Amino acid sequence: MSIRISAIAVAAILVARVAGAEPVPLTNSNALWFENWTGLSNATLVVSNPEGEISRIESATGTPVFRLTGARVPDGRWDYELRAATDERRRIVNPIDNGRGEAARDTVAVGYTMTGAFFVSGGVIVQPDDRVEE
């Protein structure tokens, strides 16, 4: 009986971890996107290149995808910030923030934020270990 209870407890822990899992940033040679996108919507991805140029990608549903474009792509560290709404709701504390008319609500989606970076070398996205100093 104790083995059955232990197996059920382990299964419940695994389900809780999967349900609360965060998006995983992925890259290939020219793009950044996120997997494990469950429960997120209305995303904004802001990417800044080493020269300070900023790109903004918005996606109402699904993961936003940033692609390297242009004839000249600066090498170095590119930073990103991902913001999205979760399925979780919280009560609106200040009534002025609840919308108007039929759009009025007493709850608002809880926000999610993630920051990170990726590296570009020779005009393509590389893993930090792949960079070679010349």
CB 125 within 8 A of CB 117: no
19-48 per-position pLDDT tens digit: 457 999 999 999 999 999 899 999 999 999
Q: So what's the pLDDT on residue 130?
A: 53
Q: Domain 24-130: which CATH class?
A: mainly beta
Task: Map out the domains of the chain as residue ranges.
Answer: 24-130
Cα dihedral across residues 95, 96, 100, 105: positive or negative: negative
